[in-house]
Amino acid sequence: MSFKTTFVLLVLVVGVGALWYFTPALKKTEADGNNAATANDNGADELALGKPLEAADIREVKLERDGRPTLDFKVVADPAGESKWTMTAPFESETESFAVTSLLGDVVHLRIQESFPTTGRGSLSPTEAGLDPPRATLTLIDTDDQTHVLQIGGQAPLSSSTYVRVDGEARVLLGDRDLAKRVLDPSVNAFRSKRVVSFFAPDAIRLTAEHAGKSYVLQRTAGDWSFETPVKAFAGRDQVTGMLTALSRLRIQNFVDESAARGYGFDAPVLRLTLDTMRTKPAPSDEDKPDTGDEPEVEERSYEILVGAPANLAGDALFVRRGDQQWIGTISRADFEKLIPSLAWRDPQVTRLTAGDASQLTIRFQGRDATLRKQENEWVGDGDLAKLDVAAVADVLEAFEELRAIDYIDAPQGLEEYGLAEPRASVTVRTVDDPNEITVLVGDVTRSGRNAYVKRSDQPNVIVVSQAQTARLSVAPLSLRSRTIFEAEPEAIRKIDIRRDNSRYVVERKNGAWIMTEPAGAPVDPNSVMIVANDIARLRARRVVDKDADTTYGLDAPRVLVTFTVDEPAAGGDDQAGPPPTVERTHTLRVAQRGTNAYLRIDDDPYVFELDDTVYQVMITEMIRRQLFDFTAPEIRAVHTRAPGGTLELAQVDGTWQYVPDPYVTLARSKVQELLDGIAGIRVEEYITWQSADTEAEWVRNAPVTVEIRTADDRTHTLKLEQERQGDLPRLGVWVEAGRVFRMRQADVERLLNGLNYYIKPETAQTP
Distances (CA, A) of 246 to 206, 241, 243, 286: 16, 8, 5, 36
Q: What is the reported pLDDT for 31?
A: 36
Residue 54 backbone phi and psi in degrees, to 5: -120, 165
Distance separating alpha carbons of residues 497 and 563, to the nearest angstrom? 5
| DSSP label of 260 | S
pLDDT in tens, 242-299: 999 999 999 999 998 766 657 899 999 999 999 999 988 766 555 545 555 666 788 8
User: Residue 47's beta-bridge partner residues?
Assistant: 111
Structural contact between residues 252 and 190, judged by C-beta atoms closer than 8 angstroms: no
- Nearest Cα residue to 73 out of 55, 84, 86: 86
How many of the other CB atoms lie within 10 Å of CB of 299?
13
- Return all residues near 179 (Cβ < 8 A) that are at least 6 apart: 106, 107, 110, 152, 162, 164
Structural contact between residues 561 and 500, judged by C-beta atoms closer than 8 angstroms: yes
Structural contact between residues 522 and 529, judged by C-beta atoms closer than 8 angstroms: no
What distance, in Å, lies between the first and last C-alpha atoms of the chain? 115
How many of the other CB atoms lie within 10 Å of CB of 735?
20
Q: Taking the chain (768 residues) in consecutive chunks of 10 residues, what is each chunk's mean pLDDT?
A: 52 48 42 39 72 91 90 82 84 85 90 90 89 92 92 89 91 90 83 88 94 94 90 90 94 82 85 93 58 72 95 94 88 95 91 92 94 94 94 96 94 93 96 88 96 94 95 95 95 95 91 93 94 96 94 96 93 64 94 96 96 95 94 97 94 95 94 96 94 93 96 97 92 96 95 95 62
Structural contact between residues 421 and 414, judged by C-beta atoms closer than 8 angstroms: yes
**Neighbour-count burial of 60, counting CB atoms closer than 10 A to its CB (0-12 exposed, 13-18 middle, 19+ buried):** middle
- Nearest Cα residue to 751 out of 678, 687, 660, 681: 678
SS3 of residue 467 by DSSP: helix
Distances (CA, A) of 131 to 101, 136, 292: 24, 9, 54
Strand residues in 267-411 grouped as ranges (E): 271-280, 298-310, 317-322, 328-332, 358-365, 368-375, 378-380, 407-409
Q: What is the reported pLDDT for 298?
A: 85
Distance separating alpha carbons of residues 383 and 378, to the nearest angstrom? 17
- Nearest Cα residue to 152 out of 117, 185, 200, 187: 185
Structural contact between residues 586 and 565, judged by C-beta atoms closer than 8 angstroms: yes
Distance separating alpha carbons of residues 709 and 721, to the nearest angstrom? 14
Distance separating alpha carbons of residues 400 and 744, to the nearest angstrom? 49
Distances (CA, A) of 627 to 29, 533, 623, 692, 757: 126, 21, 12, 18, 28
- Nearest Cα residue to 211 out of 345, 374, 79, 67: 345
How many of the other CB atoms lie within 10 Å of CB of 467?
15
SS3 of residue 669 by DSSP: helix
Distance separating alpha carbons of residues 291 and 269, to the nearest angstrom? 49
- Single-letter amino acid, residue 452: A
Q: What does the angle CA 145 – CA 147 – CA 151 come to, to the nearest 5 degrees?
A: 160
**Neighbour-count burial of 180, counting CB atoms closer than 10 A to its CB (0-12 exposed, 13-18 middle, 19+ buried):** middle
Instruction: Report DSSP letters for 73-126, one per residue.
Output: EEEEE-TTS-EEEEEEESS-EEB-HHHHHHHHHHHHT-BEEEEE-SSSTT---T
Half-sphere exposure of 115 (CA within 13 A, CB side): 17
SS3 of residue 140 by DSSP: strand
- Return all residues near 768 (Cβ < 8 A) that are at least 6 apart: none
How many of the other CB atoms lie within 10 Å of CB of 344?
7
- Single-letter amino acid, residue 748: D
Structural contact between residues 130 and 137, judged by C-beta atoms closer than 8 angstroms: no
Distance separating alpha carbons of residues 111 and 45, to the nearest angstrom? 5
Distance separating alpha carbons of residues 475 and 384, to the nearest angstrom? 15
Q: What is the reported pLDDT for 290?
A: 57
Distance separating alpha carbons of residues 445 and 443, to the nearest angstrom? 7
Cis ω before 580 (30° cut-off from 0): no
Distance separating alpha carbons of residues 595 and 242, to the nearest angstrom? 54
